[in-house]
A and B are shown apart, each in its own frame.
Chain A
């Protein structure tokens, strides 16, 4: 047996090498998750006590990324069918709850090298005598490859095309001042059976002076109080919002008539730090399902 192979310094070297390769192996499962530009946190909170905010933009790819930071205004809005969308608007915004005019981002254009990251800061300069409440904007992080997107001509007599894919992530920015009240009211509810599912149309109105951010949970129960199906989603109500919920009537020994138990609470959100949550009222209501 070779004594040098097993002396303590060799073992240390083997051990260090083992650590190195283990880290490489450990990174493999993370590769899929780290495929795009990452922005954290998903919501920027600012207040009269802390007029500065920050996000970290990370480029986990092996190519430099050109990043543009801009501010827009857009709230979750719904149509009459309960479809929700966010339409961003960055000019002629007259909403009194917009902080677009007095929040600035630094820097607004940057190139993040491969596997690099950059902190982007926000500074608020709110007008004097701003009424109590929450003021909103969306931070739009636009990323594209850090090289020009002009296609290379393969031959002098050909027409070639190149569509540059630009990726934008919009995260919420909230500036808070004074006393904040989170209050939500369910102003309307309709249920009906469509094919093999129960459709519930729920109308919410925000009665507070800040966005109501919580969890909407629905349970479909049969005549014997047996749970047929459930549905839950993260809810953000800024003013009015209509949500369409579909609960499948799964196969089983369930008996009509059905009921939908609706619960709304702003406890239990794990994606927002508890110290940033404005806790308000809970709603619990049971709706009979019309056949």
Chain B
């Protein structure tokens, strides 16, 4: 078997074990939280009797272990069940919201990844001079703003001062692609601001690191322009660290943007997860947790594969 293929298979198998462990940890975590679903739903309006009745109805009186294994058995058969709180079919709800999560993450990635890498290359080319300082200064400023501050800033600027976009970014099935793009414009701008600096700085650092090597000097001596040196000789050798940072940021765009979702009212998975954690709605938390964990594990496998692919020594082991 090809070593890369073997590695992928090994990683996938390990990933499945990891997912199982994650589901157990999530279950324990939710059980350890004070209060249960019935209390969370009824809140201040609870009485002893209505609590007992609701617990009975929701099946919360079963022992914890039984509930876990019932869930696990069903989940292994592809049945995610219905939400305890409102009886909505989880697979359907998640399907739509996961699509929205990927749409937002995708839009942000399509803009931010090429932009960050280009800016990183330019910053490395003009290391220490004004383009480097301007690029670094701007991106470090945008990453230093907390997400909600950046969000309020773009809301103020682009819906009030210049009324170009709408502050509430909900998307619905049946909207045209352009309408959807228009709706998510503001959260995409904020996310680009947030992830740009990390990827840009890493590209810059990795290139500068490679630029210290002897073969770069050779390339310069044979008369290549600085941009040609970077593009042809430095960049291919700096891919591995850049890719791992890019993947880390992609994972963040999928699983970590709940604050941006809340500010813009964007209907994706993050807000959905937080709502159900608050209500101790175990089946939903499990399902979303599994998806987030799978995305993380999957993207990390991808990062490793790309790193190996970019490195001839690893690609063709002796």
Are A and B a genuine interacting pair, yes or no?
no
A residues with CB within 8 A of B:
none
